[in-house]
Structure 1
């Protein structure tokens, strides 16, 4: 399992490769939230999301023999692009298994990064794990899981190192850190990083309504699954259940989960564009939505929200702006 030493090692390998993304603020957002809101803009990371960190950490940790055989990953788009970009930079062949209903922009971008894209019918119930396992076995590929993978978690955890330093520079050393959460790789990685630093910042997972498996799992003390695995505009964070590796970390280190509506996520997208001048996708906006519209569930005079990805189709982004801007 990932630990603080692995996060520090991943940070060393990512040095000069990943962007140190800014932490943004706006008095207009503070007024809506009723407290200071700091937004960690991972939508400005390479490939448009934090997933580049985990992709690079995992590919750069492979042995020469593993790199020669190639890698495989499954993803609705952001992990796909992160792994594809890292694989291309290391001269490694990549096969990416993506749901056919993923945003076309993410499919196109993954192919443009040199990966072979294999589509599967998520809505029709095809099992990506089974398909990925078979492809990996048939071709001798190394599977890089999107969240239940120690090196991926370590790479995502480097975000937490930056958060602690940047927040302290702005006078914030305690409070909630809201993280858009799917399987929990980023959420657990940040939590481990903050624990290793001895920080008083507390991580809180945020999910869309109807796909709140992490919040329900934390409340019950046992891993819960979602009734469906598609059907939300927050495609980037739709997972069946928290990971076997991530959930124990979430359970030990995180506060209660928060859920937001799709309308709140769209509203947050529009406000992020108007007030911060950044583009975020629905799944990458749920943490900001929680900060702005669910203040009664948040503690402290300041809150940190992750804007985790900006890979949104133009039509959907235009709808967010036309509705809420």
Structure 2
């Protein structure tokens, strides 16, 4: 595999994960179309195994390992969805998983990771602490690092969601995905650019707008411990994802915390499906009419919500 994944890598990933991952449905809502002023097609990765698109990338990365590497086990750092995805993929492959999670990760996500049989190592809620802790875990265990986003196999796996969307809905003008480390958005840009005329647009919280700033300034500018309800969107772009997003000319739009909560509530109430705040970011961008087009695809990235801490309860 080349350092930057291609559409062929994404197609191979789709074949590799097919025995394990769900082909998720596309759902629509006339009410939401009216609010957005466009036909909106929601790719429901909240209904993916482990509750998020992250299973695609983790599964592809784990299943692509040689037997010798797989026997060493796998490790990563994640606030939750990649953690759970990697834990499940490792269980399916029959290997150990060591997961570094920040202390402020939602309880529901930590419980899912532990439920899949992984070992959880807690760290402080900063990127520096994550990186220092994962380095120690790798040294102690000899496990193979499966990075949440700065990994070509992970990016290719994430791109399979857009690959499916392209086969499910014709004539899209834009495809919107949330951005944190950029694995989903990068994979989406590669697949969408190869298969359709649609633009790829990233959606990001105003309070964690490092991707928007980084692409504008031409260098990676990580946020310093950002505070946003979208707990899955607090990471910074990696070298691979930054390179792909720049090469593909992907634009970023931002939404406020209130707009995220509002979008989450609208989707829950009108579509009767559970999405988490990070998924609501891409929905909010469309509901606020920040993405142009008559037919817009929206990747709902996940549905792992701490029901004891709903923002509109």
**TM class by smaller structure:** over 0.9
- 1:14 counterpart = 2:9: no
TM (norm. structure 2) is: 0.96
Work out which of the residue numbers 304, 307, 317 in structure 1 matches 2:297: 304
Instruction: Report the Cα distance in structure 1 between the residues aligned to 2:92 and 2:129, rounded to whole angstroms.
Output: 30
| Aligned residues of 1:52 and 1:86 also touching (Cα < 8 A) | yes
* Structure 2 stretches lacking a partner, 5+ long: none
Work out the CA distance in 2 between the residues paired with 1:112 and 1:62: 23
Aligned positions of 1:141-152 closer than 5 A: 141-152=143-154
- The 3-state SS of whatever aligns with 1:80 is helix
**Which of the numbers 181, 188, 204 marks the counterpart of 2:186?**
188
The Cα of 1:285 is off from its aligned counterpart by 0.8
Structure 1: runs of 5+ lacking an equivalent: none
Aligned residues of 2:55 and 2:82 also touching (Cα < 8 A): yes
What is the CA–CA distance in structure 2 between the aligned matches of 1:279 and 1:288, rounded to whole Å? Answer: 13
Output the CA distance in 2 between the equivalents of 1:39 and 1:187. 15
CA displacement at 1:126 relative to structure 2 = 5.3
So what's the TM-score if we normalise by structure 1? 0.92
Superposed CA deviations along residues 237-276 of structure 1, whole A, max 9, x for unmatched, are: 111x211001111112243211111111111111111111
Tell me the distance in 1 between the aligned counterparts of 2:25 and 2:297: 12
Q: Is the 8 A contact 2:172 2:297 kept in 1?
A: no
Q: Report the Cα distance in structure 1 between the residues aligned to 2:172 and 2:42, rounded to whole angstroms.
A: 15
**Deviation by residue 1:95-142 (Cα, 9 ceiling, x = unmatched):** 00000110011011100100000001115x752112111211221110
Indicate if the aligned counterparts of 2:207 and 2:227 stay in contact, CA closer than 8 A. no
Alpha-carbon distance change, 100 to 182 in structure 1, aligned in 2, over 3 angstroms: same
- Whether 2:225 is the aligned partner of 1:229: answer yes
Root mean square deviation, CA, Å: 1.3
Verify: 1:86 aligned to 2:89, yes or no.
yes
8 Å contact 1:40–1:305 — kept in the other structure?
yes
Deviation at 1:152, TM superposition (A): 0.4
